[in-house]
Amino acid sequence: MYFVPGTPVYETHKDSLIEPGKWSRCVGKTVHYPKNMTPAQLQREVIEASRLIYSRRRLLQALFKKRGSERILFIGEYFWQKEVRRDMKRELPYLESLTPGKA
Would residue 16 count as lying in a domain? yes
Rounded to an integer, the average pLDDT of 9-14 is: 86
Would residue 56 count as lying in a domain? yes
Instruction: Give the other-Cβ count within 10 Å of 78's Cβ.
Output: 17
Task: Name which residue leads in pLDDT, 2 or 33.
Answer: 33
pLDDT, tens digit (0-9, with 9 covering 90-100), for 61-93: 999 998 889 999 999 999 999 999 999 999 999
Distance CA 54, CA 68 (A): 18
Rounded to an integer, the average pLDDT of 8-20 is: 86
Would residue 103 count as lying in a domain? no
Domains in the chain: how many in total?
A: 1
Alpha-carbon torsion angle 14, 17, 20, 25, nearest 10? -140
Closest by CA position to 12, among listed 35, 38, 39 = 35
Average pLDDT value for the chain: 88
- In eight-state DSSP terms, residue 17 is B
Domain that holds residue 51: 8-97
Enclosing H/E stretch for 21: none
Would residue 2 count as lying in a domain? no
